[in-house]
Structure 1
């Protein structure tokens, strides 16, 4: 199946059923979870009423697939960002963005329990951001790239760290492209391999960052709708409304993170771990992402 830039998704279909097999790609990104971890998470999320595919079966690496894999039910809808951001019906876009806000609030409302903390150890809130920013520096060192804009942005974030909210379960890649839409509602939320305990503003910033608007920059919320409609819907379920002017730090963090991932993806091709034109071309995103970072840092507080 199309998509699955880091993992592989295979459609299993005949006249009676439609299933999806999800397995490891030949190479991956270090911060991505393994398939058993993702399987157990999806099982727990489904029990909580979150709109995720129902998982059916997990198996350790087999000789046939040479990878851990799991099978889940196929859900219907559209994920392609370039299609969703071009929906012409304004009222339909508003309904979609409101449902996306509702769904994210429900994810963030999931209470910590032993099962979830076994999957994802809950970090210390006080040192949470420092560890995240230090990890960015380590990742840049591993990439052996000289990227002054990224290094400057990381230093800026170190000097401008906001107070971290209570840590919640964050999707980690909550964006247009990983949210399946059928008609005017969310039919499924995909790709949970970056899930962790974090600040809710990370998911909000990732979804509203310029790099995930697919060219529709006037629609801050995922290229589909307005930030106000998105956050108002989020607040209806969570009673928390985060104004847009508080998001500067988190948008910088989102762009730095995506820039590093883009270079890691390109490395997978360069090292011939996974020869792919799509992966190779991710390197060409880096200058534009750095321009976005500079634009953000140049804005007045």
Structure 2
């Protein structure tokens, strides 16, 4: 942020949030957040995070007001989310809707979490992640949530999602025969849906804060929707989110058995690993499309981003993962 925006932010903190701001105030852009921007705001007496739209946001993500309202409701329900404390709608000094939330302590870096040496620690983390995800899936359907997050028709939920993949791929005007084949395969192999629950939509190592071997918070709720619980489970366990530790199916951290049993203990529904084939294909197709979208958006940005420009280079590996999954299915 430039000096003008920081001064405007200082005034907001003092006048709207009644915080004491000193000359030691630190405002730093946090790592990650290619789809949304997160800024650490820290002073002697507080540590906050400001979350705003990125120039390279994707169309399927929610707006910041919806995410703020969602976090507010989830915090009321006891879900481990950052407590949101302030929302501001554009036009404003950041030229974006944004909200401010309390900072959660812990470590989220996937490349560090998957390389923890202590087996017992990784098991504890894996089990707590399973319990935390189950608590999300148990969030009750209520009028407050559905007011801004309407529940889709269960019978059309997956078909509509796959159709959206086709439309996104067509709009990119690129030839991707493997992704096209995978989308057709999914359309021909739709699994049955038992019920629609609240799904995080981006539940993966990297969006889960860990402190003292337990989940301290769950971040980045812009893709939250109502869907099959297996969509979250498939995304968390997909090979693309194991950070190279492929033998540890549960997010690169631990075993699927430990994760699944903990999830089952809380929500009472067991999802066998054998049921995840479809959802792993869906996860890799979805991530590949997002990667291409991000790379294309970079071409239109005023200030190019090397991180976004390189995302499309992930696609061949994602396509290889898809072929590995489907090799035993076709």
Structure 1 length-normalised TM:
0.98
Higher Cα radius of gyration: 2
Pick from 221, 227, 244 the counterpart of residue 256 of structure 2: 227
- Tell me what 2:82 maps to: 53
In the TM superposition, what whole-angstrom CA distance separates every residue of 1:154-191 from its partner, at most 9, and x where no partner exists? 11111111101200000000000000001200000000
Counterpart CA distance in 2 for 1:262 and 1:235 is 32
- Tell me what 1:168 maps to: 197
Aligned residues: 301
- Tell me what 1:107 maps to: 136
Offset at 1:62?
3.8
Counterpart CA distance in 1 for 2:247 and 2:199 is 26
1:202-217 maps to which residues of 2 (within 5 A)? 202-217=231-246
CA contact (8 A) 1:87 1:93 kept: yes
Offset at 1:274?
5.3
CA contact (8 A) 1:165 1:200 kept: no
- Tell me what 2:219 maps to: 190
- Tell me what 1:278 maps to: 307
Structure 1 residues 229 and 249, CA gap change in structure 2 (3 angstroms) = same
1:258-269 maps to which residues of 2 (within 5 A)? 258-269=287-298
Structure 1 residues 282 and 127, CA gap change in structure 2 (3 angstroms) = same
Offset at 1:27?
3.0
Counterpart CA distance in 1 for 2:167 and 2:265 is 39
Offset at 1:5?
1.4
SS of the equivalent of 1:23 reads strand
CA contact (8 A) 2:295 2:311 kept: yes
Counterpart CA distance in 2 for 1:243 and 1:101 is 14
1:1-301 maps to which residues of 2 (within 5 A)? 1-272=30-301, 275-300=304-329
Runs of 4+ in 1 over 3 A off after TM superposition: none
Return 205-214 or 120-129, whichever deviates more. 120-129
Offset at 1:267?
1.1
Counterpart CA distance in 2 for 1:155 and 1:27 is 28
Offset at 1:284?
0.4
Unmatched segments (≥5 aa) in structure 2: 1-29
Offset at 1:300?
4.7
Structure 2 length-normalised TM:
0.90
Offset at 1:248?
0.4
Counterpart CA distance in 2 for 1:151 and 1:27 is 24
Higher RCO by CA contacts (8 Å cutoff, separation 6 or greater) = 1
Counterpart CA distance in 2 for 1:253 and 1:177 is 19
Unmatched segments (≥5 aa) in structure 1: none
**What root-mean-square deviation, in Å, do the aligned CA atoms of Structure 1 and Structure 2 show?**
1.0
Counterpart CA distance in 2 for 1:40 and 1:95 is 31
